[in-house]
Structure 1
């Protein structure tokens, strides 16, 4: 049994996508087959009995009401046969975005590399590799509905299956945020929303504290915990992301882009842009222009 909680962090968008799913029933003496490097995630939802499964050096006894997420680049094997009738739903999915396994606190996607590839700000979906089903997930019946759709016409089911699958991931992700400290998440999201809505304005630590009614150090701790960045680090990154969009989508001058995104001067904007992106704003624009 693995004692240290492990979490799988998936950068999105693009969101992971559903491939296939079904239900399997093992009788006493049956065991899960050994597989290596399947190239897709395998989410197991145990409904009855207990599965005994290993992945590389980890081993789990997965009882009813629990989930286990097997990773696409690992060796999976049966630890021992089932001791009782065991029923579980398996769901295969894949992601083209970055993912990482880590213990404890959240790990964040490489924001710059993610933007280069997808031209968007990443969100990290956090899913426990092993743990109990969140109450909303268990009550929702989403997994069963996902399987029922798989028995119908593919053309009518594919969109609904992806929507239901994303809702399942959402419930699992939000359950981990609540477990990690819902108040910190709430404060961090309020801070993020304020920064996004006012990024073009002059913002300071004291102004942020006054507007959000919390000491700046507390805001910084919440942001660091949830997003891996202080408010001012987040603000600078967000301003740069907005500047990239303006450089790509408009013919605004570099000076105008700097002004529109809240930088105090063109020189400071160009310096921070080159430091973060590796090239000047002008070269960035030329690189993606026809």
Structure 2
């Protein structure tokens, strides 16, 4: 089960990427080495025995089926030798995005969602990995780790894609947002709001329609979406309509007025004004940039 502390939030896209993995066996009396500022995430998964390991002031006694995610910028150490034979998997991965550790149930301010959207073109998704966890299905995780180990003997041209795909499967299995019992109510409401907007963006969406559809007060919906995505429902609706308009400008020859109407704007001049403010050029100039 998750303890009251510590979830590591990693925004995506871009997704974390796999680096390397291994399988280590300690005899009784062996001890995990001390390391500082390793520079990569180090995921430990105990298969047999007990591993005594600490990070800064915290210590864990990891038994079979337990995982611990050691952080790139912390001091890690073995605080006690193994009492019996201990075998465990380890996996190194990294991300180019800023990450943050927080207490369970809280949502850290990792980044500015508007900036993330500007760079990557999509709203951020925060992968939530438990710091310390007792896996619900350890055998399945062992199989994934064995697959990753097998890829290390293959040619890099094939092992790269196979390894990343298996690593993605492992991360998804550990992502708490995929497990209903650990889902944050704030995140759930924000995602429901986002999905509703994406499915109804061509229609008129008001506070009343959102409240009626989601069965929450509009102020609460706004607070949840703002906390997770950094936007109010109106701001997110405007953003999504303009993004859909960009796609139509690139993929069709429709007049700007027709595109404006299709994505939900009643007045073409207002659409052109908002498009110019967001993208730094008019719809016509945007289309011309990508035309011969």
Q: How far is 1:37 from its partner?
A: 1.5
Which residue pairs with 2:140 in the alignment? 139
CA-atom RMSD in angstroms: 3.6
Quick check: 1:109–1:124 contact (8 Å CA) kept in 2?
no
Q: Distance in 2 between matches of 1:213 and 1:139?
A: 38
Q: Distance in 1 between matches of 2:272 and 2:211?
A: 25
Please identify, of 62-71 and 52-61, the stretch whose mean Cα deviation from structure 2 is larger: 52-61
Quick check: 1:254–1:282 contact (8 Å CA) kept in 2?
no
1:110-156 deviations in Å (ceiling 9; x for gaps): 222212332332211110111111x2464352122221222333333
Quick check: 2:152–2:159 contact (8 Å CA) kept in 1?
yes
Please identify, of 103-112 and 59-68, the stretch whose mean Cα deviation from structure 2 is larger: 103-112
Q: How far is 1:229 from its partner?
A: 5.8
TM-score when scaled to structure 2? Answer: 0.77
Aligned counterpart in structure 2 of residue 164 of structure 1, from 166, 178, 185: 166
Which residue pairs with 1:129 in the alignment? 131
Please identify, of 217-226 and 154-163, the stretch whose mean Cα deviation from structure 2 is larger: 217-226
TM-score when scaled to structure 1? Answer: 0.77
Q: Report 1:73-222 matches (<5 A).
A: 73-104=73-104, 105-107=106-108, 109-133=111-135, 135-136=136-137, 138-139=139-140, 141-174=143-176, 177-181=179-183, 188-212=190-214, 216=218
Runs of 5+ in structure 2 lacking a partner? none
Q: Distance in 2 between matches of 1:115 and 1:250?
A: 24
1:208-228 deviations in Å (ceiling 9; x for gaps): 344456665675677578667
Please identify, of 183-192 and 104-113, the stretch whose mean Cα deviation from structure 2 is larger: 183-192
Q: Distance in 2 between matches of 1:26 and 1:128?
A: 25
Runs of 5+ in structure 1 lacking a partner? none
Q: Distance in 1 between matches of 2:242 and 2:137?
A: 38
Which residue pairs with 2:21 in the alignment? 21
